[in-house]
Amino acid sequence: MRNKDFSLQKRALAHLKANIPAFKNVERQITSNSDAFDKWLNSNDSTTKVPQIWENKTDNNDEISKAVYSYV
């Protein structure tokens, strides 16, 4: 079951990278912020203390950008 979950996560990551410009470099963002990302994954409060792993491009005014950046 674990391999199936990992495969699903890989597909979700590929979808983010391909379809949402703010996540185009998500792997680089995770790598460069690996300490914060690991701490978040192991946190008991992972739903509210999400590290920023997307690129903050405020010049985009589409609906996805509005949703992604509404809490930044």
Cβ atoms of 53 and 22 closer than 8 Å:
no
Say what the pLDDT of residue 14 is. Answer: 92
Range of the domain at 51: 2-69
Give the number of domains in the chain: 1
Of 51, 52, 54, the closest CA to residue 24 belongs to 54
What pLDDT was estimated at residue 41?
A: 86
Mean pLDDT in order along the chain per 10 residues (72 residues): 76 90 88 89 82 72 66 53
pLDDT reported for residue 54: 80
